[in-house]
Amino acid sequence: MVTVEERYEHLEKTIRGYNISADFEQIRSAYAYAREHHGAQLRRDGTPYITHPLQVAQIVAEMRLDSESIIAALLHDCIEDTDSTYEDIAKRFGVTVADVVDGVTKLTRVKYSTMEEEQMENLRKMLFAMSRDIRVILIKIADRLHNMRTMEYQTPAKQKKKAFETMEIYAPIAHRLGMQKMKWELEDLSLKYLDPVAYEDINRKLEEESARHDQFMSAVQAQINTRLTELGIRNATVYGRVKHPYSIYRKMYAQEKTMEEVYDLFAFRVLVDTVQDCYNVLGVAHDLYKPILGRFKDYIATPKPNMYQSLHTTVIGDDGIPFEIQIRTYDMHAIAEYGVAAHWKYKQGIKRQGGEGTYEWIRRLLENQEDADAEEFIHSLKIDMFSDEVFVFTPRGDVINLPAGATPIDFAYSIHSAIGNTMVGAKVNGRMVGFDYQLHNGDIVEINTSKAAHGPSRDWMKTAKSSEARSKIRQWFKRERREENIAQGRASFESELRHAGLTLSQVTPPDVLPSILKRVGFQSLDEMYAAIGYGGCTALKVVNRIRDELLQLSRAAAVEKAAQEAAAAKEVQEGRPPAPQKSKSEKGLIVEGLSNCLVKFSKCCTPVPGDAIVGFITRGYGVSVHRKDCPNADPERRTPADQGRWIRVTWSDDVYESYTTSLEVVCKDRDGLLVDISTALSASKVSVTSLNSHTTTDGFAIFHLTISVTDAKQLDHVMRKLHQISGVMKVSRPAG
């Protein structure tokens, strides 16, 4: 058995192998901190829990990442699984490390109504952190890889769940980031639990044929090496491999073939020094073997968005066996194996966050999901990040990459939303095509627009493949057709209600509607109708959630009534008079001496639970609630005629889960300020209802925010987060 200390010594040895100037004192300190905080925790296999962070750090070190990445990997479970806090890690190891650890941490303390919502919010948080610092996802992939390597100790149900999530999310992210080596291992480990019979069958057959496969690969390798030597191409490395099990499985599944019918089992790789040598090797390959038409791809001239570069060609050998040859330089190979991680070996010791500009696509991807619900978010994410891509050209020769199956609609909106909104026709390779035409690699696409265009059609939502296009179409309908959206959404909603055996009168009572709106995530019925109308959500999903909420409310009311009746009966039996009923709260407030009165929160000071408050009886509008520090509630400003209208109000125990309030943020204006404010608000888990800003002539920017918070404590946390942003001078709550 390898001891914990020996694992750590091996980690240090790995780091010294590529970064002798690493901060070993801080790395050792992080190891000691993690070991102390995980304490006596054990993994499912009975080993000390600290072995997991050590192995994750080992994988990160094998990617040759910097000292901060190693430290964050060692600490990555501390916030989630121990009493350690963000603030403590930031104090000991720096804010950058704390941010990376926080980015990897799941939102375990938040309750969600569905598993999809939980998965969506965890993904959204991880992607947001990843857009700020790419090391977040590199550590997360390393974490998932080690978990999959030790998945045999988990229950069968958890094995399948984690394997499915890995196949759906983490392996494709690794692919999108160009990390092919890790992608293959994640896919193979997932297949082992998702289809164990097929996995064992493929491995057994590969084992049985290994001698024949080795003989074939050695022969081809020798042929290529001999010809390269004859032509004077020096320092070339040639090697072959059998496709990994999941790659074979996918081919068998997609083409409905048996293992024996999968012919292109082999792939050869040729590594050389220069790009010129790559093309020379391609000529050698096509001279030695017969190329298959249509199976040549030049990713050197047209790199993939994840920076992958290589020449791919499929040929048929002398004995009729087809195989693929990949040709690339050694630098290209480093990127192909480790993707974005390969760039970190050039950045050792550089104190800055990684990849903010290079990975702007992640931020755009999140922006495209703003109006999507949980299921739509995950579905769109898979298409945008994880699907195969098609490369097409503008008439000027610019390369545009789109998801496979994309149409001219996707192309138009990828250029600009104004192009998509005014599109009236499309040409592909000089020929008019329909809007549902599927684009192919190498197509030259031209979009015809007109100022007289009526805008996108609702049918385009079904035709568009990318979430960017669907998001921009939704935004157009949301902006231009609100009344139409409300009418159409209401009709769809009421139709679905009738189909579910419900009526609108069951949804709209004042004591029911707030719970319903909270469950479906809208502030008002009109907002819900509009979202259904422009495609932000479906009537079916909304009605299903409403039905569940009505059922829960009905059960809760029945339980409460039974409890009250039992208590009253007991009091009568014991000869005691029934206890007086407590004042009923309205909107989480108890108004002294009044019940069932209309209550509203004043817009001048927007109080939240925890604030000291006072009520004012208005004429015809119930009780208006102010913060006590609001100028409008100042006792010195009250007139004698109104003295009797001021009334005592207190917060009750059954406060709502969110209250709307306002903030004003005064900052020194600079680039990226809005992004930093948005990041702070997202990290604080608050909903932003509105955000307006203006700049002053003396170089200041003033932001007016309307946000939803649970109470004054959360609001103080948000204000502290905003205060920490560079350039922020003042954060205040407007009043009066």
Which residues are catalytic, by number? 80-81
Going from the C-alpha of 574 to that of each of 116, 201, 333, 567, the distances in angstroms are 51, 74, 84, 11
SS (H, E, C) 570-630: HHHHCCCCCCCCCCCCECCEEECCCCCCCEEECCCCCCCCCCCEEEEECCCCCEEEEECCC
**What does the DSSP 8-state code read for residue 42?**
B
Alpha helices in 64-166 (DSSP H): 67-75, 78-81, 86-93, 95-104, 115-132, 135-149, 156-165
**How many Å apart are CA 134 and CA 131, to the nearest integer?**
6
Exposure of 635 by Cβ count < 10 A (0-12 exposed, 13-18 middle, 19+ buried)?
A: exposed
SS (H, E, C) 628-662: CCCHHHCHHHCCHHHHHHEECEEECCCCCCCEEEE
3-state secondary structure of 256: coil
Amino acid letter for position 243: K
CB-side exposure of 363: number of CA atoms within 13 Å? 16
**What does the DSSP 8-state code read for residue 434?**
-
Q: Which of 491, 476, 480, 474 is nearest to 531 (CA)?
A: 474
Dihedral over alpha carbons 193, 195, 200, 201 (to 10 degrees):
-170
Exposure of 161 by Cβ count < 10 A (0-12 exposed, 13-18 middle, 19+ buried)?
A: middle
Structural contact between residues 371 and 478, judged by C-beta atoms closer than 8 angstroms: yes
